[in-house]
A and B are shown apart, each in its own frame.
Chain A
Amino acid sequence: MAIRVQREDFDVGAEITALTEGNPSIGGVTSFVGLVRDMADGERTSAMTLEHYPGMTEKMLAEIDAEAHDRWPLEASLIIHRYGRLEAGDRIVLVIAASPHRDAAFEACRFLIDWLKTKAPFWKLEEADDGATRWVEAKETDDAAAARWETNTGTRKAG
């Protein structure tokens, strides 16, 4: 399990290889990559700046990662979240979950990104083509996506 908060881009293939290499008990790996969209709420955006709370960000990501390991039988996991100015098409976030079986990998990956969106202290400032900026508002759909993991507690604790 690992977390990284960084300004730099990441290489998805290289990260998956590094995470799984030398562990033949891993039978399935799932990953989620979040990208900067060029449209948001019908407005054209060319870039965004991600602000975060250094210290608390790392702490919350580590807690979310630990929670995933508590709920599912994971062999390895990784969360990378970027900050700073990013342009449309740039990668923002990477989540990887590796497990002996695919179900746990799929579920844990979804859990990690759903919880991260509502519990990790990041804020997005969008830039329109004309240079105007606006803070992205939190979405109720993100809260709902996170909330369903309050009742779905994974496979390790089940039964």
Chain B
Amino acid sequence: MKILYFAWLRQRTGIGEEDVSPPESVRDVASLVDWLKQRNPAFAEALADTSTLRVAVNQEFASFDTALNGTEEVALFPPMTGG
């Protein structure tokens, strides 16, 4: 599974993208975020406030209860500020 981080999430986690193999207990976005957080303190801090977190699965906007099967591209980012 490919995970992408943008804007201050990229800065705070220190990486723009990574390939991960989460355990089977990760079945949706919420459980993926929980799993990413418990790996190290930088991720726990960056992902602490999920109210400011937006998510896309396979480049479509998704929510925390969007189901995952482990093969998706998941992007985590703050609210967008283009235009």
Contact = CB atoms under 8 A, between A and B. Distances in A.
Interface in A41-78: 50-53, 55-56, 59
Q: What is the size category of the interface that chain A forms with chain B?
A: 20 to 34
Contacts of B78: 123, 135, 138
B82 interface: yes
Nearest to A61: B82
Nearest to A56: B59
A92 B75 CA distance: 24
Q: What is the size category of the interface that chain B forms with chain A?
A: 10 to 19
B81 A113 contact: no
Interface stretch (B1-9, B19-27, B36-44): B1-9
A119 B80 contact: yes
A53 B82 contact: no
A52 B82 contact: yes
Contacts of A113: 83
Candidate in B6, B7, B80, B82 with the most chain A CB atoms within 10 angstroms: B82
Interface of A: 34, 50-53, 55-56, 59, 81, 92-93, 113, 116-125, 135-138, 142
Interface of B: 4, 6-8, 10, 56, 59, 61, 75, 77-83
